[in-house]
Each structure stands twice: as structure tokens, then as C-alpha cells.
Structure 1
């Protein structure tokens, strides 16, 4: 009886692992799209609103859902604190802290980190150019993420069950 219970737990763990990986694949395009929308809002705030960077980031964070909104909100909050740190340092710190809460990969992180190096340093037109470049690169990553989701989501679900079953078979 105990062996059967252990086998069921192993099978359940394998299945849950596969479903978790599939969930990560399905969240990635959503998080990238939220990031793109946030950067587009930031562009609008910079061009038309003449809003200070800290207020713009905080406002975007409040309007954006989930972990992507938390990135913007925390960056805006830390920028408004009089700590004497540059926008680049704050952006890198926030990305380092908050990125693990998203389902995005290192390629998206690199794009966002490169963008952070130019935030607050140059004039409005140059920042808009960098924002548009980052948005364009993220749109390419979003297409790749959708392709990977279509290709691998079902595979991970099946692989989790099969992996659990393989471990049970090997153990007995």
C-alpha cells in the first residue's frame, strides 16, 4: 500500500512539473506583451506628458498587472527616493530583484537592461528612439515566445506524465 502511495506521489510530481513548465511557456508571451505596453505608455508619458521619469514609471506600474507592473512600480518608487543613485543603477537593481517573478528569459532581460542604460541620461528624442528600438526587439521576442509555446506546451505536459511514469517503473 505504501509503495502504491509513493508511486502515485511520484507520478503526481512529474505531472505537476510538466504542467508548471507549460504554464511558464504560456505566461512568457503575456509578460512580454505587458512589457511592450508599459514601454509604449512610457514613450507616451515622455513625449506628450512631459512627466518626470519617476512619476511616469510609478503610474505605469499602477496600471500594469502582475510582475511586469511591479518592475515599473518599484523603479518609479526608488527613483523618487533621494538616494543619489542614477536611473541606470536603480533600473538594473530593480531588474535584478523583480525579473525572477516573470516568465521572461534572459534575452528579454538583456533588451530591458540595455534600455535602462539610457533612461534619464539623454534628451527626450533620443530616449524615444531607444524605447522604440526596445519595443521592436521585444516584439520579435514575443513572436519567438508564441512559436515556442505552440511547439512545446503540449510536449511539456506529456513529458511530465511520462517522466513520472518512467521514474515509477525504474523504482519497481
Structure 2
């Protein structure tokens, strides 16, 4: 009786691990799309509204996804305080503190830090060009992630189930 219950629990655990891996891949893609939307909105604020950075971040706070809310508030509040730090320093601190919790890869975190290094440093047109470049790169990454998800999501789920069954067969 206990062997049967243990076997069922191992199979359920393996299945859960497979489904969680699949879900993480899907979630990463969703967050990349939300990040792209955020960058498009921020680019528009800089290009058309000519607002200062803290106000631009607060403006897009209303239009952006909840997952970026703490990041935007952190950067806007610290820019308002002006403690002798550059925009890039505050942006990078916000990325490390708030966005590293998301499902974004290290590559995307580094790209966001690079973006922060251009804010307040380059002229408006160069900033817009960098936003355009980053949005194009995100488009490519989203396409790659979609392909990876199509190829691997079902595989992860199946491997989770089969891995659980294999462990049960080895143990029993």
C-alpha cells in the first residue's frame, strides 16, 4: 500500500516538474513581450512628450504591466531624490533589485543595463535609436522563444511524466 502511494507521489512530482519547466518557458516569453511593450511606451514618452525621466516613468507606470511596477517606482523615486547618482546607476540598481526576480535571462538583464547606460547620457535621437535596436532584438528573442516553446514545452511535460515513471521503476 505504501509503495503504491509513494509511486503515485513520485510520478505526480515528476509530472509537476515537467509542467513547471514548460510553464517557465511560456512565462519567460510573456515577460519578454511585456518588456517590449514597456520599452515601446518609454520610447514614446521620450520621443513625443519630452518629459523628464522620473515623470516619464510614472506616466508609463499606468500603462505598463504590474510586473514592472516596483522597478519603475524604484527608479522614479530614486531619480527624484537625486543622491548624486547617475541615471545609469539608479537604473542598474533597479534592474538588479527588481527585474532580476523575473524570468528574464541574464542576456536580457544585461541588455537592460546597457539601455540604462544610455539614458541621460546620450542625446535624445541616440536614445531613441538604442530603444529601436533593443526592441528589434526583443522581437528576435520572442520569435526564438516561441520556436523553443513549440519544440520543448510538450517535451518537458512528457519527460516529467516519463522521468517520474522511470524513478518508480528503478525504486520498485
Query: TM-score, normalising length from structure 2?
Result: 0.90
1:39 aligns to what? 39
Relative to structure 1, the CA distance from residue 102 to residue 79 in structure 2 (aligned partners, 3 Å threshold; closer, same or farther) is same
Corresponding residue for residue 144 of structure 1? 144
The 1-side partners of 2:17 and 2:61 are apart by 31
Q: How many residues align?
A: 172
Which deviates more, 23-32 or 96-105? 96-105
Alpha-carbon distance between aligned partners in 1 of 2:98 and 2:169, rounded to the nearest angstrom:
40
Deviation, 1:144, is 0.7
Contact 1:70 1:98 in 2 (8 A): yes
Structure 1 81/171 Cα, relative in aligned 2: closer, same or farther at 3 Å? Answer: farther
The TM-score normalised by the length of structure 1 is: 0.90
**Structure 1 residue 9: deviation in Å?**
1.8
Q: Deviations over 1:56-111 (max 9, x none)?
A: 12332332223234433332233223322211112211211223432222222222
Match of 1:127 in 2: 127
Deviates more, 1:31-40 or 1:79-88: 79-88
Flag the 1:66–1:167 CA change in 2: closer, same or farther, 3 A.
farther
Aligned: 1:108 with 2:108: yes
Aligned partner of residue 83 in structure 1, secondary structure: coil
Verify the 8 A CA contact 2:13 2:164 in the aligned structure 1. yes
Instruction: State the shift of 1:160 in Å.
Output: 0.9
Does the Cα contact within 8 Å between 1:18 and 1:161 map onto a contact in 2? yes
User: Any conservation in 1 of the 2:100–2:109 contact (CA below 8 Å)?
Assistant: no
Gapped regions of structure 1 (runs ≥ 5): none
How far did residue 29 of structure 1 move?
2.0
Distance, in Å, in 1 between the alignment partners of 2:158 and 2:96 is 33
RMSD: 1.7
Distance in 1 (CA, whole Å) between partners of 2:40 and 2:80 is: 21
Q: Unaligned stretches of 5+ in structure 2?
A: none
* Distance in 2 separating the partners of 1:78 and 1:148: 38
